[in-house]
A and B are shown apart, each in its own frame.
Chain A
């Protein structure tokens, strides 16, 4: 079990992805975060953002871009291979991720260029003290979450500033943003999603129910209630109903009644 800041490359990858307005849950766009960044740490990404978004919309394998934070283990490695037209296995730190990203090559290559160009400014302006404070803030909350959620207990958890109130589950780690106390709840959710090994909608739905039940009457119950009220659950509720996971009436209630969601999800899991 561990908790640490994500490496500088992963921080940069999430920072870059936070600038693109992709459709649906693939999006990590965060206007508030982008607005808080130094101009020089945003401009090289923003310049081609509309094109990247258009490519993402049309690219059948666009979701492969979600693997971007795994490709390198340092910005130095990204920059060392930046001039290459195409990366080879010897250039990267995760060959499987490179293979995955290659399936959406035009999109990936344009993003890689943006990352290379913005990297020096990003490193100069990275708020290291804020990151350390966020880490210290998350640590006790995560301890509480680990204590009540077996799937999270031994998980490697990392913090990436640009993720805000979002999270990402990878095979070997869970990455959450800096927005406490949501990030502890997000870590629980990501651990549940990862443990489901189901398709997207079934996995998300089961994770929502599981975490809602786990946090009941715990120190994280209020944080969970606030977090879950902040989500756009309408598409997932619709899909869950189509899959027969929830009645149409309850799906509509969960989508519409944000303050009551946690209780409704717990009820959904017991019927």
Chain B
């Protein structure tokens, strides 16, 4: 690994984090925003299993079924 590359990437990371945080804060505080939503806390989605796009002819990748996780750090449950 090149140290210059690493330094450049760490600098870029800091810039991206700052911009992202600023964007999230602005989005939460801005007066022109649509109805306020909590930031940094997952919101309940009305239709979590229905992503807002359709499969294109070339078969774009898309998320598949959710695996239920009944307990922390356990494999899928036995039936």
Contact = CB atoms under 8 A, between A and B. Distances in A.
Interface string A191-234: 00110111111011000000000000000000001110111110
Interface string A224-261: 01110111110110110000000000000000001100
A18 B39 CA distance: 22
Interface stretch (A1-9, A143-151, A164-172, A263-271): A164-172
Contacts, number: 176
Given A31-B73, A171-B59, A230-B67, A63 B51 contact: yes
Contacts of A83: 2, 4-5, 8-9, 12
A79 interface: yes
A54 interface: yes
Given A23-B42, A194-B59, A239-B47, A110 B20 contact: yes
Contacts of A116: 9
A46 interface: no
B69 A26 contact: no
A227 B76 contact: yes
Contacts of A35: 73
Q: Is the interface of A mostly helix, strand, loop or mixed?
A: helix
B78 A226 contact: yes
Contacts of B4: 83
Given A230-B68, A235-B47, A200 B17 contact: no
Interface string B23-34: 110010000000
Contacts of B45: 23-24
A110 B76 contact: no
A179 B75 CA distance: 9
17 contacts: A24-B66, A31-B73, A63-B53, A79-B5, A83-B2, A83-B9, A85-B12, A109-B12, A113-B9, A165-B76, A169-B62, A171-B60, A200-B62, A229-B79, A231-B65, A232-B66, A258-B79
Interface of A: 21, 23-27, 31-32, 35, 48, 50-51, 53-55, 57-58, 60, 63, 66-67, 70, 79, 82-83, 85, 100, 106, 109-110, 113, 116-117, 120, 164-171, 179, 182, 189-190, 193-194, 196-201, 203-204, 225-227, 229-233, 235-236, 238-239, 258-259
